[in-house]
């Protein structure tokens, strides 16, 4: 499925004939670090504004329409202590329109990657100014999504200002110092030095695949580059409690836990199935007890971050129910560790996860993201294998996985507005 083309450049073909569209994507894998996180967030947005041939977003839009309404996506995806900058074009398969689009798509993708609109050694300052304002709004707007905000603050408290502890949109204080020339310098470093993955998803002829290999993969210079290695979260030590007051009605609670399970190990599958039993479904322990039976939360969920081996428990609660909700969450957590799990809970969770993972096959971009993550973790298992491994997990393995989990940070976003006023 994945071919090594040259040093630091790999090509993956995801054969999926059920789709009427194809995707071709380029991913650049770089470390998630303070010095470059804001540059990385800005770069795809600025590059998407224009190329040397198509100098404005309007020109790009018109040309994409000429390519039977092809779509362009660009952005970043966090991968543990690293991040992937991506450029993706999705278009109608050649056989459905009676002509070959693939060659034009390859050329357009190369244009975006290798020929962004620049003036000498600098990106267009007007485009940069606009995207800096957009990014500033996004960073400052994080607070408007209280659930996402409290989870980030919990993550930041766990891991600090480097790697997975950083907000991938960057830092407002970096923006004034970023110029068209400094962003271009960052761009050249990425293009020439980052680990590159090219993906083709859908259905392609052998000739089209050869063209992707030679014209797109072949356009990259060989480099000594590897994926960013993520260190998993190990023992937590003493649990820290952090409270932040905010003028809202509904308080938010996020608990960050260190799982200590290697993401490519057999125990990982027990961990994610256990998380589903615990708080990852509409029939989980947290949902049934914290929300339904005791009415202590508006929602109560858990999820596992695979790369870093962490779990986050998220709740929306009334301020005066904080202690009761936290206590009940920990009661259910102890039940998981003690093996107080019904066979029906495990079987229902297996069915739920099987459906969720099977649905990953319904999106080419979701499949790309899954297989890129697998490549970063040096795991070649496919989606069907993932489902099979989940199905083989036993209750004893779930208990073993949960006994390794330790709470690290309890972050309480405390609402201080009475019912009837303020934000939710």
Q: Look over the chain and give the mean of its residue pLDDT values, rounded to a whole number.
A: 95
Structure tokens at 58: 């309007």
pLDDT at 369: 97
Is residue 47 located within the same domain as residue 161?
yes
Strands 9-15, 195-202: pairing is: parallel
Cross-sheet strand order for the sheet of 299-305: 240-246, 406-415, 251-258, 310-317, 299-305
Residue 178 placed within a domain: yes
pLDDT at 401: 97
Q: Tell me the residue range of the domain where 184 lies.
A: 2-219
Is residue 341 located within the same domain as residue 400?
yes
Structure tokens at 396: 């004893």
Residue 156 pLDDT level (bands cut at 50, 70, 90)? very high
- Number of structural domains in the chain: 2
State which H helix or E strand residue 343 sits in: helix 343-358
Q: For 258-315, how does the pLDDT look when each residue is reduced to its tens digit (9 = 90+)? A: 999 999 899 999 999 999 999 999 999 999 999 999 999 999 999 999 999 999 999 9
Polymer length in residues for the chain: 424
- Note whether 314 and 251 are within 8 A (CB): no
Is residue 209 located within the same domain as residue 249?
no
Is residue 50 located within the same domain as residue 173?
yes
Give me the CATH number covering residue 40: 3.30.830.10
Residue 233 placed within a domain: no
User: Nearest Cα to 197, choosing from 399, 26, 379, 360?
Assistant: 26
Q: For 310-358, how does the pLDDT look when each residue is reduced to its tens digit (9 = 90+)? A: 999 999 999 999 999 999 999 999 999 999 999 999 999 999 999 999 9
What backbone phi and psi angles, to 5 degrees, belong to 31?
-65, 145
pLDDT at 183 over 60: yes
pLDDT at 420 over 70: no
Q: What is the residue-wise DSSP string for 2-42?
A: EEEEETTEEEEEEE-TT-SEEEEEEEEEEE--TTTHHHHHH
Q: Using CA atoms, how far apart are residues 373 and 82, in angstroms rounded to an integer?
A: 11
Is residue 80 located within the same domain as residue 211?
yes
pLDDT at 411 over 50: yes
* Distance separating the N- and C-terminal Cα atoms of the chain: 47
Is residue 209 located within the same domain as residue 269?
no
Q: For 358-401, how does the pLDDT look when each residue is reduced to its tens digit (9 = 90+)? A: 999 999 999 999 999 999 999 989 999 999 999 999 999 999 99
Is residue 340 located within the same domain as residue 284?
yes
Structure tokens at 39: 């540059």
pLDDT at 421 over 90: no
pLDDT at 418: 62
Is residue 301 located within the same domain as residue 169?
no
Range 196-220 average pLDDT:
97
Range 38-47 average pLDDT:
98
Is residue 154 located within the same domain as residue 192?
yes
pLDDT at 422: 47
pLDDT at 419: 57
Q: For 91-120, how does the pLDDT look when each residue is reduced to its tens digit (9 = 90+)? A: 999 989 888 899 999 999 999 999 999 988
Question: Of the candidates 157, 189, 219, which is a domain's last residue?
Answer: 219
């Amino acid at each position: 499925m994945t071919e090594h083309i040259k040093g630091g450049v790999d090509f993956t073909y995801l054969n999926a004939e059920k789709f009427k569209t194809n995707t071709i994507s380029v991913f650049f894998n770089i470390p998630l670090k303070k010095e470059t996180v804001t540059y990385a967030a800005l770069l795809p947005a600025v590059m998407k504004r224009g190329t040397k041939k198509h100098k404005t977003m309007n020109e790009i839009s018109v040309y994409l329409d000429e390519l039977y309404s092809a779509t362009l996506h660009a952005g970043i995806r966090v991968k543990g202590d690293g991040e992937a900058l991506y450029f993706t074009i999705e278009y109608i398969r050649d056989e459905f329109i009676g002509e070959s689009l693939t060659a034009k798509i390859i050329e357009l993708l190369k244009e975006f990657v290798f020929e962004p609109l620049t003036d000498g050694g600098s990106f267009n300052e007007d485009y940069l100014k606009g995207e800096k304002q957009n990014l500033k709004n996004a960073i400052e707007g994080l607070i408007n999504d209280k659930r996402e905000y409290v989870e980030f603050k919990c993550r930041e408290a766990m891991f600090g200002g480097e790697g997975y502890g950083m907000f991938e949109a960057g830092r407002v204080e970096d923006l004034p110092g970023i110029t068209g020339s400094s962003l271009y310098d960052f761009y050249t470093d990425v293009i020439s030095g980052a680990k590159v993955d090219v993906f083709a998803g859908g259905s392609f002829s052998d000739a089209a695949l050869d063209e992707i290999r030679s014209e797109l993969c072949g356009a990259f210079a060989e480099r000594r580059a590897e994926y960013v290695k993520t260190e998993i979260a190990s023992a937590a030590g003493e649990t820290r409690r952090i409270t932040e007051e905010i003028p809202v009605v509904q308080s938010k609670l996020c608990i960050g836990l260190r799982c200590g399970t290697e993401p490519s190990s057999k125990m990982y599958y027990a961990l994610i199935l256990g998380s589903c039993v615990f708080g990852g479904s509409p029939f989980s322990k947290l949902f049934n007890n914290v929300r339904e039976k005791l009415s202590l939360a508006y929602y109560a969920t858990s999820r596992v971050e695979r790369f870093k081996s962490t779990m986050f428990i998220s709740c929306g609660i009334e301020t005066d129910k904080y202690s009761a909700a936290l206590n009940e969450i920990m009661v259910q957590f102890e039940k998981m560790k003690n093996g107080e799990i019904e066979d029906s809970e495990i079987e229902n969770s297996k069915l739920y996860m099987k459906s969720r993972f099977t649905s990953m096959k319904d999106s080419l971009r979701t499949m790309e993201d899954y297989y890129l993550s697998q490549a970063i973790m040096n795991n070649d298992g496919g989606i069907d294998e993932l489902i099979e491994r989940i199905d083989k997990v036993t209750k004893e393995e779930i208990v073993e996985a949960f006994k390794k989990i330790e709470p690290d940070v309890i972050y309480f976003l405390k609402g201080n507005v009475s019912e009837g006023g303020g934000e939710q």
